[in-house]
Homo-oligomer: A and B are copies of this chain.
Amino acid sequence: MSFKRPLILVSNDDGIAAPGLHHLVSLMREFGEVVVVAPDSPQSGMGHAITVGDTLRLEKVNIFDGLLAYECSGTPADCVKLAKHYVLKDRTPDLVVSGINHGSNSSVSVLYSGTMSAAIEAAIEGLPAIGFSLCDYSHEADFSHTFDWIRKIVRQALEQGIPKHVALNVNFPHSKHAPLKGIRWCRQAKARWQENFDERYDPTGRRYFWLIGDFINEDTGDDTDVWALEHGYVSIVPCKFDMTDYDALRSLRSWQLD
């Protein structure tokens, strides 16, 4: 890092015009050369979707004051794939960051998160990766209390490195909790969304639904991301993409399958 400026790839899931992305791009320019590849429209809740069986568009945009930037018709995971294998080609980014997401990606939301799917895709590719999210869904959210914490985290990531195939899931409390108390390394809380569906009828009389949900946290541990966020701390969960449940692997061998 001391000899050449790091190359940082930035993506997100709220789309190329989202305020959270523009804040993250500005911060990353303090650290190195920045390339942006982001969805051309909001992709919240896309999980680790990729575009198969359909085409992808990728177009240069000039909305970041001279930076090389593209909008992509695909998902956040598509953006990272296209960035690595088409836009950057022979150049390997020193860091991939995604966000800042407008909304929490703590606990089980990591599975539904387009923001984290970009980071996890990068981790699969062997690249150091961080997803940043703010617990405020508003388009006009105040991100300013996150900036110094992002700088600290990115500085450590560039200096110390992130273990290979690990993506960091960083969440910030809402600005009403500012100033934040510090950073906590956490495990993913065992919480979930309790779903409900709002049933309505369109102008032609055909039924449709809106998904609504309440976040239910049954995990009382003080080492979880949900605990940290509720108590005014930045949470960082290191995530891996090996979903094997090794405990279950041992217990399930008792099945009679021959």
Check A243–B53 contact: CB distance below 8 A: no
Shortest Cβ gap from A122 to chain B (Å): 12
Contact residues of A between 201 and 258, Cβ < 8 Å to B: 206-211, 236-249, 251-258
Return the contact of A55 from the options B56, B117, B163, B209 (Cβ within 8 A): B209
Q: Is the CB of A111 within 8 A of B51?
A: no
Is the CB–CB distance between A243 and B47 below 8 Å? Answer: no
* Tally of this chain's copies: 2
Interface of A, helix, strand, loop or mixed by DSSP: mixed
Q: Is the CB of B166 within 8 A of A81?
A: no
Determine the residue in chain B with the shortest Cβ distance to A213.
Answer: B81
Q: Which of B163, B210, B248 contacts A240 (CB 8 A)?
A: B248
What are the residues of chain B within 8 A of A166 when measuring CB–CB?
245, 248
Residues of A in contact with B, size category: 35 or more
- Identify the stretch in A16-24, A90-98, A186-194 within 8 Å (CB) of chain B at 4 or more residues: A186-194
Q: With contacts A211-B52, A239-B245 known, is A82 near B46, CB below 8 A?
A: no
Interface segment, one of A29-37, A152-160, A171-179? A152-160
Q: Is A58 an interface residue (CB 8 A)?
A: yes
User: CB distance A45 to B52 under 8 Å?
Assistant: yes
Q: Which residues of B contact A85 (CB under 8 A)?
A: 195-197
Most B-side CB within 10 Å, residue of A153, A183, A245, A253: A245
Selected A-B contacts with CB under 8 Å, 11 pairs:
A49-B49, A85-B196, A153-B257, A156-B256, A160-B254, A163-B248, A169-B243, A183-B257, A236-B252, A237-B249, A238-B249
